Amino acid sequence: MWDQLLQQIALSEPKALARSISLVENEVEGYEQFLGQLPVGHAAVTGITGPPGAGKSTLVDALIQQWVTAGKKVGVLCIDPSSPFNLGAVLGDRIRMSDWYNHPNVFIRSLATRGSLGGLHPHIIEITALMQATGFDHIIVETVGVGQSEIEIAGLADTTVVVVVPEAGDEVQTMKAGLMEIADIFVVNKSDRPEADTFVRNLRMMLAPAFHQTTTAIPVIKTIATDKTGLVELATAIEQHQQEVHHSERKDWLLTERAWKLIQQHRMKDINKQALKDKIASLRSKGTFNLFSFIHSYIQQ
């Protein structure tokens, strides 16, 4: 099975990619060896993040059109909130991207966070590698939109695009530091709304090298995703950043971050959360539970 999937992945077969993602999600025996044999892909990863209601899905839809029109193959991973009952994706397939589901140059997959606190899927690194091995020109990862925990996307994406709306107004001064720090590009979507120009001006001032820990100004791009305004500028800015990042030290840090996460995941594999809970409950019932001594004794086992 795995050998056949490898052959089909090398031929960019979308059905093989879809099946491989499901097998990796469910940690079917042999998946780690399978991942180790994947061809190395070079498609850059663009992370689209930002607060709920900023228009991330509509923006992704517009980006798909921009790149497909230019003859590119685009893979999209949409991270959705999990159902508390079965850990499946609550939103499922994105209605706003429904035009692309049967397009030969577009692959879209919804993934549930499955309780992951960082706004991503626990196997997002492996699934992204699968996408890269399948020969896409661009890979887009759209996160849930849950605020400060979104910073995990910075450890995955070559370019992180933070989407905001003009309504933030003066509140940009109190915007969560996590999102401010991870942005490679800021998009002010729905920029036909009142006060958009003032908001963009204030944001550019805040992000200028004199006030921010960067050597160059972070681009701030105005878009109206519903009518595709500003998408040429956004696609150009993403591609320019990815050409620069390809030759920079940041690529090494991105790969180090991914390696760290995977090693951490592997080392924690034998720890059963239910068994951990049972031990804690037993000690607490005896009135002898101390969190730190418990952790120390657990590590020493």
Q: What is the pLDDT of residues 82-138, one digit of tens each?
A: 544 344 444 544 555 667 878 999 999 988 765 444 446 678 888 999 999 999 999
pTM given for the model: 0.81
Q: Which is nearest to 240 in space by CA: 69, 248, 103? A: 248
SS (H, E, C) the chain: CHHHHHHHHHCCCHHHHHHHHHHHHCCCCCHHHHHHCCCCCCCEEEEEECCCCCCHHHHHHHHHHHHHHCCCCEEEEEEECECCCCCCECCCCCHHHHHHCCCCCEEEEEEECCCCCCCCCCCHHHHHHHHHHCCCCEEEEECCCCCHHHHHHHHCCCEEEEEECHHHHHHHHHCCHHHHHHCCEEEECCCCCCCHHHHHHHHHHHHCCCCCCCCCCCCEEECEHHHCECHHHHHHHHHHHHHHHCCCHHHHHHHHHHHHHHHHHHHCCCCCHHHHHHHHHHHHHCCCCCHHHHHHHHHHC
- Report the alpha-carbon distance of residue 94 to residue 86 in Å, rounded: 19
**Average pLDDT in the 40-65 region?**
89
Q: What is the pLDDT of residues 274-300, one digit of tens each?
A: 888 888 999 889 887 888 888 888 877
pLDDT at 290 (0 to 100): 85
Binned at pLDDT 50, 70 and 90, residue 188 comes out as very high
**Average pLDDT in the 200-215 region?**
70
Locus of tokens 């706004």: 119
Q: What is the pLDDT of residues 154-170, one digit of tens each?
A: 778 889 998 888 875 54
User: Which structure tokens are listed for 44?
Assistant: 């850059």
User: Please, which residues have CB within 8 angstroms of residue 145's CB and are 6 or more apart in sequence?
Assistant: 49, 50, 51, 52, 53, 54, 56, 119
The partner residues of 107 in beta bridges, in order of sequence, read: 75
Least trusted range by pLDDT, from 3-17, 60-74, 135-149, 183-197: 135-149
Q: Bigger pLDDT: 204 or 223?
A: 223
Kindly tell me if the per-residue pLDDT of 152 is higher than 80.
no
Q: Are 120 and 133 in contact (CB under 8 A)?
A: no
Residue 121 burial class via C-beta count within 10 angstroms: exposed 0-12, middle 13-18, buried 19 and up: buried
